[in-house]
Amino acid sequence: MDIRNTILSQNELSLLEDTIIKYGKIVSFGQLKEAIGSKYSLEEVRNKISLLSKKGWLIRLKRGLYVVITDISTLGFNDVSEYIISQALNKDSYISFENALQYYSMFDQMLISVDAITDKRARKYQIKNMQYRFSHIKKELYFGFTQVQVNGKTVNMAEREKALLDMLYFRSYTLNASVVLEKIGEYQHNIDFKKLKEYAKRYSLRIVREIGFLLDRLNIETEDLYQSTNVKENSYSKMAANADTFDAKWRLYYDSNLT
């Protein structure tokens, strides 16, 4: 972007500063309209917002929602947490999967998406180089998250145990199961196994079988989970499409290459 086109007038600078002070860095069209002032018509407000967007000082997240930029050297929103952006895109959601594990320092690989769970409609947003994905879950499984503070903003974050179960629930393939197995094994001292097993019972029988099987491989007690569920019924589950080995205790087919 031509740096000459990014220069703010004093009025524009004051407008953005006042907006951030009053509303923060993520603002709605209505908040911008209020900050600009009632003396301007709706068309004039839209024109001013459009101009600030073209200059790079406002970045549109979705219709009626913007990020206010504070660092002209990047013309991006590196100073705004992706967790906060995700929560702003869908207030009825919680961060889960690897993103939640990363928040708890249980996952250190670079992520190119922010994955969240919602009991509303599934949606995807592509904003700059990051994709924000919202997977739909039925209302009875919309639980197991807590509110955390990120840069002064409240974000719904899955608990460690819920993030691991969500990964199994939404992703049926061996590599994903291997990641879950690895994280449980590596961070046993951070996981509440009583909670993990209680949460698993609220999912389908497939998830009970899968988490029980994985815990057995790590020599973690599962007898309470096994006895309190109906895993012994005359049925079976498959951990992945290529599952080729049968575990008789949990009546579960799994991939023999699972590591």
Q: What is the pLDDT of residue 18?
A: 84
Where does a domain end: 158, 182, 201? 158
Percent of the chain past pLDDT 90, that is, above it, reads: 64
**Secondary structure of residue 149 in the 3-state scheme:** strand
Is the residue at 208 inside a domain?
yes
- CATH number of domain containing 18: 1.10.10
Q: What is the pLDDT of residue 2?
A: 46
Q: Which of 28, 9, 36 is nearest to 67 (CA)?
A: 28
Tokens representing 106 are: 């249980």
* Cβ–Cβ < 8 Å for 22, 37: no
Residues 246 and 174 in one domain: yes
Residues 192 and 238 in one domain: yes
Where does a domain end: 46, 68, 90? 68
Tell me the C-alpha distance between 45 and 36, whole Å.
7
Is the residue at 74 inside a domain?
no
Q: What is the pLDDT of residue 73?
A: 52
**Secondary structure of residue 142 in the 3-state scheme:** coil
Domain containing 58 equals 3-68
Is the residue at 163 inside a domain?
no
Residues 172 and 154 in one domain: no
Where does a domain end: 101, 126, 158? 158
Q: What is the pLDDT of residue 100?
A: 98
Residues 59 and 103 in one domain: no
Residues 174 and 246 in one domain: yes
Q: What is the pLDDT of residue 37?
A: 82
List pLDDT tens digits, range 8-21. Answer: 788 888 888 888 88
**Residue ranges, the chain, pLDDT below 70:** 1-6, 71-79, 259
